[in-house]
Amino acid sequence: MSLEFIFVTGMSGAGKSTALKIMEDIGYYCVDNLPIFLIGKFVELTADGEEGHITKVAMGVDIRSGEKLPELQSVLDELKKEAFDYKILFLDADDQTLIKRYKETRRNHPLAGAERLETGIAREREKLEFLKKEADYILDTSQLLTRELKSELERIFVQDVNFKNLMITILSFGFKYGIPSDSDLVFDVRFLPNPYYVPALRPLSGKDPEVRDFVMGYAVSREFIAKLEDLIRFLIPNYIEEGKNQLVISIGCTGGKHRSVTLAEALYHSLVKGSGYGIRIEHRDIEKDAYRKGV
């Protein structure tokens, strides 16, 4: 019997519990926080099961194993020696996001004790480093909604996409509201013709076909998006090779409603076709320049 076995691990607060629930929904038999010394026996019993029994397993293992966690390396080494095929899914998030989530839930970090939350997170990163290095899939959930995490897991484990450990966020914004602090790449499209000065287009956004047709009706806009797409496609494999697992591409205009939204949508729809990496789009300031008649 062919057994698909996934270890689900990662930082506390990065979404492991949610991921396991999603994995269960898509057909995996899920086990969480099994003692390390029982993992090898569990794998053996599951792999030797009768045909038609359990064929897909997702096992949660993380810092809750305490001082026994380092012993997991020996378990993994033994599984490799026996040629047992398993994968590791590592869920991560940046420190700022983890701190925010912990404060919202008012939970204590398992390694913080009486010390600051940042101290516990740093200790956990150090203890989990060996798992992250061996991970087949690394998902940074800093910017992901639950439905987006579900979409990514389905893409990897249901649609069987050739996954690359990179989550791309294409973010439109308005310079008048500040450049997004988590931007990796920032592109200024304020040089393009502005629909704001066309009364009929002002109340609309870059998601409306009238605005899209106006902006993309200019040769300079089409040339810009072609060059931008070419640049991003060049950069992506280099970022992946570097080990980067999250890329935020920010496109800004004055108010973040017309030109930046149009170009962000165009880039998103171009890159999402046949990609082996996660990609999402967000319009940060699209609602901030609400049009009011007579203003």
Residue type, 85: D
Q: Residues 260, 253: contact at Cβ < 8 Å?
A: yes
151-180 pLDDT, tens digit per residue, is 889 888 887 655 666 788 999 999 999 999
62-106 pLDDT, tens digit per residue, is 998 988 999 999 999 999 998 888 999 999 999 989 988 887 876
Q: How much of the chain, in percent, has pLDDT values that exceed 70?
A: 92
State residue 272's pLDDT score. 83
Phi-psi region of 139 (alpha: psi -120 to 50; beta: other; left: phi over 0): beta
Contact partners, residue 132, CB within 8 Å, separation at least 6: 10, 90, 92, 138
State residue 239's pLDDT score. 87
Residue 290: pLDDT band (50, 70, 90) is low
State residue 276's pLDDT score. 65
**pLDDT above 80 for 143:** yes
What does the domain layout of the chain look like in residue ranges? 4-157, 168-283
**pLDDT above 60 for 291:** no
* Burial call 109-128: b when 16+ CB within 10 Å, e when fewer: bebbeeeebeebbebbbebb
State residue 244's pLDDT score. 78
Residue 237: pLDDT band (50, 70, 90) is confident
Q: Which CATH superfamily is domain 4-157 in?
A: P-loop containing nucleotide triphosphate hydrolases (3.40.50.300)
Q: Residues 144, 280: contact at Cβ < 8 Å?
A: yes
State residue 83's pLDDT score. 85
192-229 pLDDT, tens digit per residue, is 999 999 999 999 999 999 999 999 999 999 999 999 99
Residue 30 or residue 55, greater confidence: 30
State residue 175's pLDDT score. 95
d(CA 32, CA 17): 9
**pLDDT above 50 for 293:** no
Full 3-state SS string of 160-209: CCCCCCCEEEEEEEEHHHCCCCCCCEEEECCCCCCHHHCCCCCCCCCCCH
Residue 52: pLDDT band (50, 70, 90) is very low
Mean pLDDT of the chain: 88
**pLDDT above 60 for 51:** no
